Amino acid sequence: MAETRTIFDIILGIFKTAWESPLATTIIANACQIILLLGVGIPLITFVTRQILKYLKGHVSEQVSMLVSKGIFYGGMVLLGLMLLPIVGIKELTPIVGAAGVVGVAVGFAAQTSFSNIISGLFLISERPFAAGDLIKIGETKGFVTSINLLSIRLRTLDNQQVRIPNEYVIKNVVTNVTHFPILRLDIDLSVSHRNDLEQVMAVLKDIADKNVYCLDEPDASVQIQQFGASNISIRLSAWFAKDDYLQFKNSLICQIQKRFREEEIEIASPSTHNVCLVPAPDGACPAPGMGESPVVQTSERG
C-alpha cells in the first residue's frame, strides 16, 4: 500500500511540476487563444457571408452572389489562418511561402483540369449565358440548372436525375438556353393530301390557334405552305405561347388539330413533326415563321 502511494505521489509530482512550468502555461494560454479565435472567427465569418449574400440577392445575379460570398468566406478563413500562425509559434512567413511555391508547382501539374474548370467557371459567371432555374441543353443532356459553381454546373434532368457537367465542357460546347426568353414559338408541320382544299386547311389551322387559350395574340399565329410535293403538301402552323405553358399548349393544340381534321375530313398524307424554336422577347424583333429558327426540341409524331 505504501509502495502504491509512493508511485502515485511521484506521478502527481510530475504533473504538478509540468503544470507549473512556463512551457505548460504557454501551451495552455495558446490553446485558449486558438479556441477563442476559432470559436469567434468562424461564426463571425459565416454570419458576415450570409448577410452579404442576403444583401446581394435581388441586386446582382445568383452567379455573382455565389462568387462574392464564397470569395469572402474563403478570404476570411485565410485571414483567420494567418492570425493563428503567431499563436502556434510561426512568426516568419518566408519558409511557408517557399514551401507553398514548391507545392504549388507540383499541384499545378496535377490539377490542370481543375484550374481550367475554375477559369471556365469565371467566364460563365461573367458572361451569364444562363442562370439557376433555366432549362438548357448541352450536347445530349437537357435539364434545369440547379447550381453554378467554380468547377462545374449541376442540372436536374426532366426525369429528375442530377447531372454534374464540368465548366470546361460547357465552355467548349454549344449551350442552348430553352427558357431564356419569355415566349416561344411552336411549329407544327403537317403533310396533307392533294385531295384537300388548301384554303380550308389553312383556315381551320388558323382558327384552331386563335381559339386556343394558351396561344398569344401578339405575335399572331400564322399558317404557311412549306412545300408542294409530288404526293403531299407540307403546311406549317406557327403559334406563340408563354414558356411556362409549353406542355399544356402543345398537348391541347395537337388534340384540337386531330379533332378538327376528323370533323372537317381533312386527310393527313404522311408523318408530321413539331418543334419548339427559341425566339426573342415580345418587344424584340420576331423572326418570320420559317426563318431563323433555332431547333431546340424536335420530335416525330405520326398522324
Q: Give the start-to-end residue ranges of the domains of the chain.
A: 2-91, 127-177, 183-301
pTM assigned to the model = 0.54
The answer regarding whether domain 127-177 maps to CATH 3.30.1330.10 reads no
What whole-number distance in Å separates Cα of residue 149 and Cα of residue 70? 10
Q: Which three cell numbers stand for residue 260?
A: 378538327
What's the pLDDT at 294? 38
Q: Is the pLDDT of residue 50 over 60?
A: yes
What's the pLDDT at 300? 37
Q: Is the pLDDT of residue 47 over 70?
A: yes
Helix (H, G, I), strand (E, B), or coil: what is residue 283?
Answer: coil
Task: Report CA-CA distances (Å) from 193 to 45, 220, 261, 269.
Answer: 71, 26, 12, 5
What residues does 276 pair with on adjacent strands? 186, 297
Q: Is the pLDDT of residue 202 over 60?
A: yes
Instruction: Name which of 35-49, 79-93, 166-180, 215-229 the model is least confident about.
Output: 79-93
Buried b (16+ CB within 10 A) or exposed e, 113-131: eeebbbebbeebbeeeebe
155 contact partners, CB below 8 Å, separation of at least 6: 136, 138, 141, 142, 143, 144, 145, 146, 162, 163, 165
Residue 96: pLDDT band with limits 50, 70, 90: low
Mean pLDDT score, 119-132: 82
Instruction: Name which of 103-107, 254-258, 265-269 the model is least confident about.
Output: 103-107
What whole-number distance in Å separates Cα of residue 98 and Cα of residue 100? 5
Nearest of 150, 225, 141 to residue 178 by alpha carbon: 141
What's the pLDDT at 107? 58
Q: Is the pLDDT of residue 113 over 60?
A: yes
The average confidence (pLDDT) of the chain is 77
Calculate what percentage of the chain has a pLDDT beyond 70.
70
Q: Is the pLDDT of residue 256 over 90?
A: yes
Phi, psi of 192 (to 5 degrees): -110, 160
* Topology (CATH) of 183-301: Alpha-Beta Plaits (3.30.70)
Task: Report CA-CA distances (Å) from 122 to 72, 89, 154, 263.
Answer: 16, 37, 16, 57
Pick the more confident residue, 291 or 97.
Answer: 97
DSSP state of 171: H
Highest mean pLDDT among 34-43, 158-167, 224-233, 277-286: 158-167
Instruction: Name which of 10-24, 193-207, 253-267 the model is least confident about.
Output: 10-24
Residue 205, judged by CB atoms within 10 A of its CB (0-12, 13-18, 19+), counts as: buried
Highest mean pLDDT among 2-6, 32-36, 99-103, 287-291: 32-36
What's the pLDDT at 80? 83
Q: Are strands 175-177 and 183-192 parallel, antiparallel or unpaired?
A: unpaired
Residue 303: pLDDT band with limits 50, 70, 90: very low
What's the pLDDT at 125? 77
Pick the more confident residue, 233 or 295.
Answer: 233
Alpha-helical (H) ranges within the chain are: 2-20, 22-56, 62-84, 94-110, 112-127, 167-172, 198-211, 246-264
Residue 51: pLDDT band with limits 50, 70, 90: confident
Helix (H, G, I), strand (E, B), or coil: what is residue 62?
Answer: helix
Helix (H, G, I), strand (E, B), or coil: what is residue 291?
Answer: coil
Q: 157 with 163: CB under 8 angstroms?
A: yes
What's the pLDDT at 203? 93
What whole-number distance in Å separates Cα of residue 111 and Cα of residue 103? 12
Q: Which three cell numbers stand for residue 122?
A: 469565371
Mean pLDDT score, 188-217: 91
Mean pLDDT score, 109-121: 73
What whole-number distance in Å separates Cα of residue 69 and Cα of residue 59? 14
